[in-house]
C-alpha cells in the first residue's frame, strides 16, 4: 500500500482527492491538513465522507512550510491543494524531505520565470524547480510524469482548452496566429471560500464573461501549444461564469490553413488520444458534441469538433469536470503514474447524471 498526504484537504479539490482515494485499491490517505478544521475528523469539512474515513483520520494544523516535515510524515507523496502563492514555498520543503509532490496550484505550471511576472505579478523565487517540474496533463505529458518528482497539475480551463486545441494544432490544420477560446465554467472553480461574485445568489442565473482579455490560464495553453508546435502562439481567451457548479466547456475557434475533411480532423484527435483511457472523442448521434453533463463527477474528458467548410473555420470543443479532470481526477492519474500504478486505477467509474 502506498501512503499519501493531502495538504489543504478541507477545500474543494482536497475533498475530491479524498472522495476518489476512499476507493483507491493501492493508496491510503495518512495525513490531511487544514487550519480551520484542525483536530476535527474529515467529515466536518466533507459531510458526504462521514463513515467513509475512520474518525481517527483528523485534520492536522500546518501553518507554515517549515512545519511540513513534522506534520507530513511517513508518506510517499504529498498533494498540495493550496491557493497559489501559498504552495510556492511548500513545494521546495516537501522535495527537500524526499517526497514526491503534486501541486494543484499555479505556482509551478509555467516554465519561464518572466511568465510569472507577466501573469501572476511576482518574481518566481525557484527557477531551478520550474525547470524540473512537469506539467501535469497526463494525456500529453504522461511519459515525463512517470519519472517526475514534482508535477504541476493544470488549471481547469487550461486543461479543457489544451485538450480541445492541441490535436488540430499539432496536425498543422489550423492557423496558429488566430485561435479564439471561449470557456464556460462552473462556480466551484473558485474554491470553497465565498466571495461576492462567486456566491450562490450572485452566481445563480448568471452567464457573464470575466477576465475577458487576460485570464491567467491562457499562459498554460500557449505554453503547451508552443512546446508541441515549436511556434510562439498567442491565443484570444475569454472565460464565462455560468450558472452551474461543476464543469468547464472549452469552445475554441480557428481557421483552416489546409483543405481537410471531417475525417482528417477526426484522425488528428484519434492520433493524439489513442489509448488514452479518459478521453472520449464525441462524433455523430445522438449528441454530436461534448457536454459537461456527461462527465460530471468523473475523470473523463469529452472532445469533439465541427468543420464549417463555408467559412473555412474549425470549432474545437472539450468538456470536463473542473474538479475532476480539471483538478483532483487528473492529480490522481498523475499520482498513479508517479507511483508506478496503472494510470486508471481508482478512477474508472461514472457518476449517475441522467435519470
Ligand X SMILES: NC(=O)c1ccc[n+]([C@@H]2O[C@H](COP(=O)([O-])OP(=O)(O)OC[C@H]3O[C@@H](n4cnc5c(N)ncnc54)[C@H](OP(=O)(O)O)[C@@H]3O)[C@@H](O)[C@H]2O)c1
Chain residues in the site for ligand X (CB under 6 A): 8-14, 34-37, 81-84, 86, 104-105, 155-156, 188-189, 191-193, 322-323, 326-327
Respond yes or no: is residue 156 known to be catalytic. Answer: yes
Rounded Cα gap, residues 246 and 187, in angstroms = 7
Shortest reach from residue 122's CB to ligand X, in Å: 14
Residue 222 in contact with residue 235, Cβ under 8 Å?
yes
Length of the chain: 355
Given the residues 129, 130, 151, 156, the one annotated as active site: 156
Q: What is the DSSP string of 74-132?
A: S-SEEEE---TTTHHHHHHHHHHTT-EEEE-SSTTT-S-HHHHHHHHSS--S-HHHHHH
Rounded Cα gap, residues 132 and 139, in angstroms = 19
Q: How far is CA 130 from CA 104, 116, 146, 153, 341, in A?
A: 14, 11, 17, 13, 25
A 10 A CB-CB count for 67 gives 15
Please tell me whether the peptide bond between 286 and the residue prior to it is cis, using omega within 30 degrees of 0: yes
Nearer to ligand X by Cβ, of 19 and 283: the residue is 19
Shortest reach from residue 171's CB to ligand X, in Å: 28
Nearer to ligand X by Cβ, of 99 and 156: the residue is 156
- Residue sitting closest to ligand X (CB): 11
Please name the residue that has the C-alpha cell 495525513: 31
Residue 125 in contact with residue 132, Cβ under 8 Å?
no
Q: Angle CA(285)–CA(291)–CA(296) in degrees, nearest 5?
A: 130
Nearer to ligand X by Cβ, of 185 and 281: the residue is 185
Nearer to ligand X by Cβ, of 152 and 265: the residue is 152
Rounded Cα gap, residues 254 and 249, in angstroms = 17
Q: What is the DSSP string of 208-253?
A: EE-STTT-THHHHHHHHHHHHHSS---EEEEEEEES-SS-EEEEEE
Nearer to ligand X by Cβ, of 10 and 333: the residue is 10
Shortest reach from residue 9's CB to ligand X, in Å: 6
Rounded Cα gap, residues 220 and 233, in angstroms = 11
Nearer to ligand X by Cβ, of 254 and 334: the residue is 334
Shortest reach from residue 190's CB to ligand X, in Å: 7
The neighbouring-strand residues paired with 306 are 315
Shortest reach from residue 239's CB to ligand X, in Å: 12
Shortest reach from residue 158's CB to ligand X, in Å: 9
Catalytic residues: 156
Amino acid at each position: 500500500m502506498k501512503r499519501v498526504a493531502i495538504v489543504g484537504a478541507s477545500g474543494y479539490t482536497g475533498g475530491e482527492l479524498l472522495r476518489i482515494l476512499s476507493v483507491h485499491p493501492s493508496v491510503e490517505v495518512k495525513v490531511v491538513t487544514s487550519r480551520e478544521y484542525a483536530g476535527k475528523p474529515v467529515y466536518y469539512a466533507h459531510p458526504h465522507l462521514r463513515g467513509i474515513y475512520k474518525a481517527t483520520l483528523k485534520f492536522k494544523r500546518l501553518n507554515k512550510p517549515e512545519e511540513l516535515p513534522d506534520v507530513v510524515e511517513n508518506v510517499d507523496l504529498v498533494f498540495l491543494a493550496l491557493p497559489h502563492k501559498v504552495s510556492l514555498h511548500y513545494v521546495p520543503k516537501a522535495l527537500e524531505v524526499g517526497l514526491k509532490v503534486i501541486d494543484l496550484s499555479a505556482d509551478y505550471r509555467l516554465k519561464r520565470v518572466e511568465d510569472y511576472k507577466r501573469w501572476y505579478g511576482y518574481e518566481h523565487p525557484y527557477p531551478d524547480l520550474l525547470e524540473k517540474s512537469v506539467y501535469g496533463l497526463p494525456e500529453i505529458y504522461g511519459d515525463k510524469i512517470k519519472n517526475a518528482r514534482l508535477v504541476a497539475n493544470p488549471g481547469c480551463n487550461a486543461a479543457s482548452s489544451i485538450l480541445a486545441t492541441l490535436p488540430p494544432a499539432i496536425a498543422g490544420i489550423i492557423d496558429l496566429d488566430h485561435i479564439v477560446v471561449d470557456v464556460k465554467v462552473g462556480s466551484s472553480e473558485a474554491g470553497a471560500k465565498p466571495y461576492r461574485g462567486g456566491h450562490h445568489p450572485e452566481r445563480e442565473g448568471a452567464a457573464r464573461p470575466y477576465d475577458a482579455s487576460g485570464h491567467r490560464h491562457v499562459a498554460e495553453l500557449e505554453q503547451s501549444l508552443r512546446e508541441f508546435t515549436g511556434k510562439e502562439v498567442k491565443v484570444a481567451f475569454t472565460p464565462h461564469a455560468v450558472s452551474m457548479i461543476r464543469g468547464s466547456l472549452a469552445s475554441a475557434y480557428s481557421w483552416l490553413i489546409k483543405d481537410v475533411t471531417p475525417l482528417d480532423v477526426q484522425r488528428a484527435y484519434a492520433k493524439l488520444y489513442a489509448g488514452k483511457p479518459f478521453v472520449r472523442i464525441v462524433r455523430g448521434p445522438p449528441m454530436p458534441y461534448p457536454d459537461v453533463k456527461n462527465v460530471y463527477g468523473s475523470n473523463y474528458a469529452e472532445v469533439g469538433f465541427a468543420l464549417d467548410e463555408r467559412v473555412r473555420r474549425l470549432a474545437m470543443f472539450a468538456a470536463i469536470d473542473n474538479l475532476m479532470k480539471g483538478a483532483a481526477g487528473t492529480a490522481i492519474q498523475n499520482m498513479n503514474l508517479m507511483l508506478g500504478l496503472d494510470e486508471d486505477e481508482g478512477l474508472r467509474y461514472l457518476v449517475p447524471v441522467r435519470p
